[in-house]
Structure formats: C-alpha cells, structure tokens
Structure 1
Amino acid sequence: MHRTVSTIFVAPPAEQQLEALGKPLRTLLAKRLLALRSIPNPTGATKVEGLEHLYRIREDSYRVIYVIRGQELLVLSIKCSTQRDHRIGS
C-alpha cells in the first residue's frame, strides 16, 4: 500500500528552476509533480543514499529532488541531469 501526501510545496530555488523552463517541459514536470500526491515514491523513484526521506525522479533529461515529511512533499531541486558545473572551485 502506498502512502499519500496531502500537500506539495516547491522550495523557492526549485520554483525558479521550474519557471526557467519552456512551457511544454514545465507542464510535463508539473503533471509529474502532481502525480506524486497519490504515489510519492513511484516506480523509478530512487531513494537518495544516506539521506532519510529524500528521493529523486527523472523526467526526460531532468532530475527532481524531493523530500517526504509525513503528509507533505517538498520539492527541493529541478535540474537538467546532463548539465556540468564548470565553475572554478566547484
């Protein structure tokens, strides 16, 4: 039996990342996030090792990181999984 969540919160950084995407991809990701209400850890979701209640899912080339706390789901990050960080000192 799957546990359900009653509320989905999107952290400000994740909201900015979502808003920066094109409308078709933004719509696709929004639908995927809403589906997490009924099945917060669907097939394909990966528990982040070493961090309790933290999961990641992939949609197209994007990775969504979220945490489940009781009846709440908090989206922390939405990033392209093929991007490389080229900043000096990273």
Structure 2
Amino acid sequence: MGSYSIDFARSARKELMKLQPAMAERVDAAILKLADDPHPPGSLKLAGDESAYRIRVGDYRIIYEIRNEVLVVMIVKIGHRKDIYR
C-alpha cells in the first residue's frame, strides 16, 4: 500500500484551528498517521457512505473519506463527539 496524501475540507481546517493547543496536537498527529495507514485500529466505516470513516481522539472525532484512486485521505469534519454526527 502506498503513502496517501492528506487534504482538508475548509470547515475541517477551521475546526482544527479552534481546538485547544494540546488537543490540536493530538488530532494533528492522528491525521498524519492516516497518510501511512488510512484504516488504523479503531477506525469505523460510517453507514450511508462508501468511503467515509471515523477515528476517535479522546472525546473528539475525525470524519474522513478515503479516495483510493488518487491516494488521498480527505478530512471532512473534526469535532466533539456530542456535536459531530449532527
């Protein structure tokens, strides 16, 4: 499996910038690991979308899509678990 590149939806990038610095570092580290392994342990496929997954980082969730044809992991949404699925 080749290395994937990471891309962000504009709204996901804004949410990352709003996080507290310590949590932002943890989320950023988890996102960077997706480049090497887009299916890390603990990732779950989301119902209703062929390519959407989520990973947990503490109380935060990262929703992302895997675009295998172009080797891109698109970060769609980042948020607290109480708000992310709304």
TM-score w.r.t. structure 2 length?
0.88
Q: Give ranges in structure 2 of 5+ residues lacking alignment.
A: none
Shift in Å, 1:4: 4.2
- Mapping of residues 13-24 of structure 1, within 5 Å: 13-24=11-22
Asked if 1:82 is matched to 2:72, the reply is: no
- Equivalent residues, number: 84
Deviations 1:23-65 (A, max 9, x none): 1110110000000111101110000112101100111000110
- Mapping of residues 7-18 of structure 1, within 5 Å: 7-18=5-16
The percentage of counterpart residues that share the same residue type is 29
Runs of 4+ in 1 over 3 A off after TM superposition: none
- Mapping of residues 1-90 of structure 1, within 5 Å: 3-70=1-68, 71-83=71-83
Q: Give ranges in structure 1 of 5+ residues lacking alignment.
A: 85-89
Cα distance in structure 1, aligned partners of 2:25 and 2:81: 18
CA RMSD of aligned residues (A): 1.9
**Structure number with bigger Rg:** 1
Label 1:6 to 1:81 Cα distance change in 2 as closer, same or farther (>3 A). same
